[in-house]
Amino acid sequence: MPNNDGMDGIIGQSPPMLEVYRVTRKVAPSSATVLLTGETGTGKELVARALHELSSRSTGPFVRVNCGALSESLLESELFGHVKGAFTSAHETRTGRFEAAHGGTVFLDEINSVSYQLQVKLLRVLQEQEFERVGDTKTIRVDCRVIAATNVDLMDEIEGGRFRDDLYYRLNVIPIYLPALRERPDDIPALVKFFMERYVDQNNLSSARITTAALNFLTQYDWPGNVRELQNYIERALVLSSSDELDVEDLPQHVRGLAPLRIGRKDIHNIDALCTSLVSMGISKVGDESNEVYGAVVSRVEREVILQVLRQCQGVQTRTATRLGINRNTLHKKIDEHSLQNEAR
């Protein structure tokens, strides 16, 4: 079993995770820019921290910026700083995150959220290691490693005119893909053990164990929220359980297959599969009136399915199309047809 020193909190010995460990250790000592890709909840920040801790910059700062949490103007000030009077609320000069990360690592999470205009300034930092604070003309040079992360396909963003291809190629020097939990089910027992030990300690419990039946349900579930979802369910089960043994009844209903079918499960591949059940309801395409009823029901089912999957995928259309089993062009048409633009990004 490989030594996981320097990779705290990253659990798993499945082949996909062994590849993550291998590339991370190989790349960490270098100064190369790294692009972490993978769904939400797969542990991208943990890998970013491991890259920092295993590098020669480990004694320097590790600075994280959630690019998706701030507006364009606020993000620019957050990244590069500003001088007093640069804008209305700039009452004093402020150091930006790139300056704060000098000698260490800056982690740009949700890099896909950066506006097209701000991407130009980011590209300059990556290429020249220099920038100006907002409202200033003085050039500041920094020495920091850049690690970026995204949960969407940046090539799709480039095709949609939302992401610069030159920035993408500058970020994608070393790509590391974080597998979804459903791609490594053999790691689930080890993750369950890890989280149970953590929350037993945090909640001052004497001990806890899990039944084989409960563990089987956890292993078979599809985990659209990945490791973060598993972590939350383990903590919830430990806190609410009436004994020191987690059993099937301590798991959420949908994990046990008792709740309404969750879109994204492995037994649902496209919208049309849902509509076949209409026949058993006595609704067919025979006759004008039946056609009208059938079409209305199919449209309603279709809209609800797409809405649920969009919300599960946080509006990311590439992931939504994949889970529905349709291509992105078809999804775009359906989003327009059902007026779901506010749910999609």
Tally of structural domains, the chain: 3
**How many other C-beta atoms are found inside a 10 Å radius of the C-beta of residue 2?**
11
Question: Is residue 264, in this structure, part of any structural domain at all?
Answer: no
Residues 129 and 74 in one domain: yes
Tens of pLDDT along the chain (345 residues)? 344 566 778 999 999 999 999 999 999 999 999 999 999 999 999 999 999 999 999 999 999 999 988 888 789 888 988 777 666 666 677 888 999 999 999 999 999 999 998 999 999 999 998 888 887 788 889 999 999 999 999 999 999 999 999 999 999 999 999 999 999 999 999 999 999 999 999 888 878 899 999 999 999 998 999 999 999 999 999 988 888 899 999 999 888 877 554 444 443 444 444 455 544 455 555 555 556 666 677 778 888 888 888 887 778 887 787 777 777 778 888 888 888 887 766
What's the CATH number where 231 sits?
A: 1.10.8.60
Residue 116 belongs to some domain of the structure: yes
- Pair 21, 165 in one domain: yes
End-of-domain residue from the set 203, 232, 256? 256
Statement to judge: residues 88 and 216 lie in one domain: no
Place of tokens 């939350």: 232
pLDDT at 72: 82
Note whether residue 313 is domain-resident.
yes
Statement to judge: residues 163 and 57 lie in one domain: yes
Strands, DSSP E only, in the chain?
34-37, 62-66, 105-109, 130-132, 139-141, 145-150, 174-177, 209-210, 245-246
| Nearest-angstrom CA–CA distance, 22 and 31 | 17
What CATH number does residue 68 fall under? 3.40.50.300
Are 174 and 205 within one domain?
no
Which of 232, 256, 280 marks a domain boundary?
256
| Residues 44 and 33 grouped into a single domain | yes
Range of the domain at 229: 182-256
CB of 318 closer than 8 Å to CB of 152: yes
Asked if 158 and 186 sit in the same domain, the reply is: no
Give yes or no: residues 87 and 141 share one domain. Answer: yes
Q: Of 226, 256, 286, which residue constitutes the final position of a domain?
A: 256
The 3-state DSSP class for residue 134 equals strand
Q: How far is CA 20 from CA 36, 50, 136, in A?
A: 10, 11, 41
Q: Report yes or no on 146 lying in a domain.
A: yes
pTM of the model: 0.73
Asked if residue 71 and residue 95 are part of one domain, the reply reads yes
Same domain, 188 and 316: no
Q: Are residues 22 and 169 in the same domain?
A: yes
Whether 240 and 318 map to the same domain: the answer is no
Fill in the DSSP letter of residue 252. -
